[in-house]
Amino acid sequence: MILRLLNRACVLSGSVRLKSTLSTFFDEMGKSGIILKSATTGIFENLALEDWIHDHVDLQNRSMLLSWRNSPAVVIGRHQNPWQECNLPLMRRLGIPLARRRSGGGTVFHDFGNINMTFFISKKKYDRHRNLKVITSALKALRPDLEVAATDRFDILLNGHYKISGTAAKLGRTSAYHHCTLLCSVDRSVLSSVLKSNTSEVIKSNATPSVPSPVRNLLDVDPTLDSDTIMNAVASQYSNEFGFDGPVITVDPSHEALMPGIHKMAQDLQMWEWIYGRTPKFSVCSSLVVDDVTVKLDMDIKNGAVEQCAMEIPEDWLPSEMVNEFTSALNGSKYCPNEAAVLVAAFTRTVSVTADVAEKIHRLCAGVVSVM
């Protein structure tokens, strides 16, 4: 097989007439297949780009491949619980953002060593195995003795054991997209520490769970398999499989004129109500130790907000009226450490308490916040 390397990248912004959008540009191109590469490394901009293409580009007689990479981020599936899936306090300390995508599936960690690929097509021709075959064939064309294969769960395994790719998908009105990751040179120590929740044992939820798997980078088995080499190989194989050719087009998702509405889509994906508020209803049941005293905490969280909060605290440590005031302060608030801390601080200012009680409330708050 002769690999045609698609070096002829074409940067889109310069070549589009005024009043043309990306969608009309594709229609005018007249090609049945298009390969795109994102110019940005922001997770929200890239997720918005996927959604924009899905909503606006006519995919009935056309298929598209988009490849993209992000600066470090954790991405959860549409119906997942972030408190169950990842270590939120650690992510905050490391400055790693959390995103919720619109497709289903499990939680993944992205950084520059991970390639994301999105296959856009009509609902009728939606075929994930065909898409994954593009990737495994491309890898085998680069390194014929590489043992990579897709599973029934649409993972790609290396040597029959290590996961190098996970898949998720979304079906819309008439079109669909299937996207997957590909681990080339991801920071595995960060990956394993952020994808390990610090509070999953205290959470009871029916959110879709992730299936943890041992992972490996392609670079670990072959140091010459870098992201660019792999992206070019996949693009070439995609063209072979879907029977067309053309340059890889670089798209900049910050171009609002080219993609009207994309900026708002990226903003919507960053809203607390979407990222945390869309978490399916769950309950938290935890035993905290504060000042050698055991505090039993029970909370119901709906739409990311505390629907109900109850605490069992020894009466001699903190009087029950104080406990009731504390739990009332939290009711209806966002299940969020900053918000809880602010509310409790405000509450201690409004009630007259001794310094000793104020200190206890402060430490109790720290305990409660530790599960957020």
Partner 1 sequence: MAMCTILRCASVSLTSSLPRLSNRNALTPARLLARTCYKRALSTTTRFCAALKFTDKHEWVRVDSGVATVGISNFAQEALGDVVYCGLPEVGTKLSQSDEFGALESVKAASELYSPLTGEVTDVNDALADNPGLVNKSCYKDGWLMKMTVSIPEELDGLMDEAAYERYIKSIED
125 binds partner 1 (CB under 8 A): no
The single residue among 57, 88, 176, 225 that binds partner 1, judged by CB under 8 A, is 176
Contact 263, 294 (CB under 8 A): no
Q: Smallest Cα–Cα separation from 296: which of 253, 264, 327? A: 327
State the binding string over 215-254 for partner 1 (x if CB under 8 A, else -).
----------------------------------------
Instruction: State which residue, 244 or 274, has the beta carbon closest to partner 1.
Output: 274
The single residue among 79, 133, 216, 363 that binds partner 1, judged by CB under 8 A, is 79
| Crossing angle for the helix pair 262-269 and 43-56, to the nearest 10 degrees | 130
260 binds partner 1 (CB under 8 A): no
For the chain, helix (H) and strand (E) counts, in that order, are 13, 17
Q: Tokens 């670990």 identify what position?
A: 220
Instruction: State which residue, 69 or 278, has the beta carbon closest to partner 1.
Output: 278
CA 311 – CA 324 distance, rounded (Å): 8
281 binds partner 1 (CB under 8 A): yes
The single residue among 97, 246, 261, 280 that binds partner 1, judged by CB under 8 A, is 280
The Cβ of residue 257 has, within 10 Å, a number of other Cβ atoms equal to 13
84 binds partner 1 (CB under 8 A): no
104 binds partner 1 (CB under 8 A): yes
172 binds partner 1 (CB under 8 A): yes
Number of residues that bind partner 1 (CB under 8 A): 22
Contact 118, 177 (CB under 8 A): yes
56 binds partner 1 (CB under 8 A): no
Q: Residue 35 pairs with which residues in a beta bridge? A: 65, 248
Contact 371, 297 (CB under 8 A): yes
CA 88 – CA 197 distance, rounded (Å): 8
Token representation of residue 9: 């990248």
271 binds partner 1 (CB under 8 A): no
Q: Tokens 């601080």 identify what position?
A: 345
DSSP 224-242: T--HHHHHHHHHHHHHHHH
Which span sits near partner 1 by CB under 8 A: 61-69, 133-141, 167-175, 247-255? 167-175
Instruction: State which residue, 37 or 178, has the beta carbon closest to partner 1.
Output: 178
Instruction: State which residue, 131 or 236, has the beta carbon closest to partner 1.
Output: 131
For residue 195, the minimal CB distance to partner 1 (Å) is 20
The single residue among 102, 133, 188, 363 that binds partner 1, judged by CB under 8 A, is 102
Which span sits near partner 1 by CB under 8 A: 4-12, 108-116, 201-209, 349-357? 201-209
CA 140 – CA 147 distance, rounded (Å): 8
77 binds partner 1 (CB under 8 A): yes
CA 21 – CA 283 distance, rounded (Å): 46
CA 153 – CA 279 distance, rounded (Å): 24
Instruction: State which residue, 93 or 173, has the beta carbon closest to partner 1.
Output: 173
Which span sits near partner 1 by CB under 8 A: 11-19, 41-49, 75-83, 139-147? 75-83
171 binds partner 1 (CB under 8 A): yes
Q: What's the DSSP call for residue 52?
A: H
> Hey, what amino acid is at 82?
P
Which span sits near partner 1 by CB under 8 A: 74-82, 283-291, 339-347, 351-359? 74-82
CA 110 – CA 69 distance, rounded (Å): 8
103 binds partner 1 (CB under 8 A): yes
For residue 79, the minimal CB distance to partner 1 (Å) is 4
208 binds partner 1 (CB under 8 A): yes
Instruction: State which residue, 133 or 140, has the beta carbon closest to partner 1.
Output: 133
What is the three-class DSSP state of 73? strand
334 binds partner 1 (CB under 8 A): no
Q: Residue 136: which residues within 8 A CB-CB, separation 6 or more?
A: 148, 149, 150, 156
Token representation of residue 78: 């549409």
Site residues, partner 1 (CB under 8 A): 77-79, 102-105, 126, 168-173, 176, 178, 206-208, 280-281, 303
